[in-house]
Amino acid sequence: MKRFHAVPAGDERYVLGEGPFWDSDRDRVLWVDINAGEVHGGRLEEQRVVPEWVLTFRETVGAVVSSRAGELLIAGARSLFTVSPNGGVTPGTQVIADGTASRLNDGGCDPAGRFLIGTLSLDGPINQEVLVRIENGGHLRVIDDDLGLSNGLAFTPDGGALYSADTTASKVWARDYDADTGAVGPRRDLLHLDGKPDGLCLDADGNLWIAMWGAGQVRCYSAAGEQIAVVDVDAPNTTSVAFVGADLDTLLITTASEQLSESQRARYPDSGRLFLADVGVRGSPVPSWAGTAAPARPGLL
């Protein structure tokens, strides 16, 4: 099994860094600091991520993606927001009803540009969290409704399968997916892990790279479920991963500084930083969002 070591990509520390997204049309990195309510943008400069701007919301921010035209789609606490290239913010589909003890968490786009988003329980019933897809007009297509904590999403390079993680169940599922028709197949167990899978991505060979919360690692598994590599990170709470750069040959890892003991903070002072690793492979391109025709007011689970 191959072993790699990640290095800090900057001096900034985030409370709950998450959701890295490579916007190839603008050569920029996007990421969020969930509990700080921040969406960040920056550029990749050698072995550094240089922050360039931040958008702040008065609520949690679970995920961000970009359209080919440069619009941003942002998952707030319960609703989606769009941000135009000139910075105008417009409310979009409300996914979670008011009064429900959940918030939006990790999200991503399918090969047709539809946005998928999952939820996380704040103090509500167990195993009733959802993974949904936002259809044109704002209609919600429920994909899963029995999750403990919906997390990382990724599509195979050919777009024919969707991977999704449930952190609470320590599982990664796979299912057939047809972006043209919107058909979603039944899920099947791919991995049952000894830990907490968080965000994930795929390389060009179809291998999964999974951030393991609490383990200070990103683990790589083949499509057959065999572990083939590990990236050690000097931050216990690794949260998500994405391949970035013009050639998609650098692995970007987000981490969190929260939920650490005093001894852990002393031992891992880089917690909360972005990290980079050269893992010898290229990533699979991540689909962009279809644009402002997709989100709309109708919604609500």
Summarize pLDDT for 13-40 with one digit per residue, the tens.
999 999 999 999 999 999 999 999 999 9
Neighbouring C-beta atoms of residue 194, cutoff 10 Å: 7
**% the chain with pLDDT above 70:** 97
Instruction: At 219, list the tokens.
Output: 């683990």
pTM of the model: 0.96
Mean pLDDT for the chain?
95
Quick check: helix, strand or coil at residue 264? helix
Helix, strand, coil percentages, rounded to 5, for the chain? 5, 50, 45
8 Å CB contact between 184 and 177: yes
What does the pLDDT read at residue 136? 84
pLDDT at residue 292, rounded to an integer = 78
Q: Which domains does the chain have, with CATH numbers?
A: 2-277 (2.120.10.30)
pLDDT band of 295, cuts 50, 70, 90 = very low
Confidence bin at 294 (pLDDT 50/70/90) = very low
**pLDDT tens, position by position, 158-195:** 899 999 999 999 999 999 999 999 999 999 999 999 99
Helices (H) and strands (E) in the chain, counts: 1, 25
